[in-house]
Amino acid sequence: MNEERVIITYRYYQNPSEIPTEEQELLSHAKRALLGSYAPYSQFNVGCALRLEDGTIVQGSNQENMAYPSGLCAERVAIFWAGSNHPGKKIVAIAITAASKVVSTDHPITPCGSCRQSMLEYELNQCSPIKIIMQGSSGRIMEVESVSSLLPFYFNEVDLKHQKL
């Protein structure tokens, strides 16, 4: 038997003034994106903002549907919109935040597994890391330098290649 370890490096900041101005701005855009959230069932509003390599900022918010699988998370709304409207432009950073009247969001809110996989595919295709900045409605801010930090054992195109056994 062999044993290996995965080590994930992340940073915590106590308040937005500790992070660079560009990241503060991106987090502010994510908080504004909350206004477009449609979450009548979960009451869990998520806002996302991403910065493209040319400085363009794209916002997204979660969009629920009575038929739950039909909704879409804020992160995928933003990255799919960016991919569709700004093809070929790299995503440099993504900020994610959430607010709720029914559960506490005073801690960093991380993306779900589907969003991690979707964001990672963009990161792999652009051959450069995407920084992720996460905060709840208040409290500490968490930052990772790459989506792969959040999904170290990811599914990729190699897994789809047909190889003779």
Q: How confident is the model at residue 69 (pLDDT cuts 50, 70, 90)?
A: confident
The domains found in the chain, sorted by start residue, are 12-149 (3.40.140.10)
Indicate which residue of 75, 121, 123, 145 is catalytic. Answer: 75
Residue 145 falls in the annotated catalytic set: no
The whole-number average pLDDT for the span 101-108 is 94
pLDDT at 16 over 90: no
The whole-number average pLDDT for the span 106-122 is 96
For residue 162, the model assigns a pLDDT of 64
Sign of CA dihedral 33, 39, 44, 50: negative
- The three-state secondary structure class of 59 is strand
CB contact at 8 A, 159 and 27: no
For residue 27, the model assigns a pLDDT of 96
pLDDT at 165 over 80: no
For residue 157, the model assigns a pLDDT of 75
Across the chain, what does the average pLDDT equal? 94
Q: How confident is the model at residue 163 (pLDDT cuts 50, 70, 90)?
A: low
CB contact at 8 A, 60 and 69: no
Nearest to 110 by CA among 119, 123, 122, 121: 119
For residue 80, the model assigns a pLDDT of 98
Q: What is the DSSP string of 76-132?
A: HHHHHHHHHHSTTPPEEEEEEEEEESSS---SPPPPPHHHHHHHHHHHHHHTS--EE
The whole-number average pLDDT for the span 131-156 is 94
pLDDT at 160 over 90: no
The whole-number average pLDDT for the span 19-43 is 96
The whole-number average pLDDT for the span 98-119 is 96
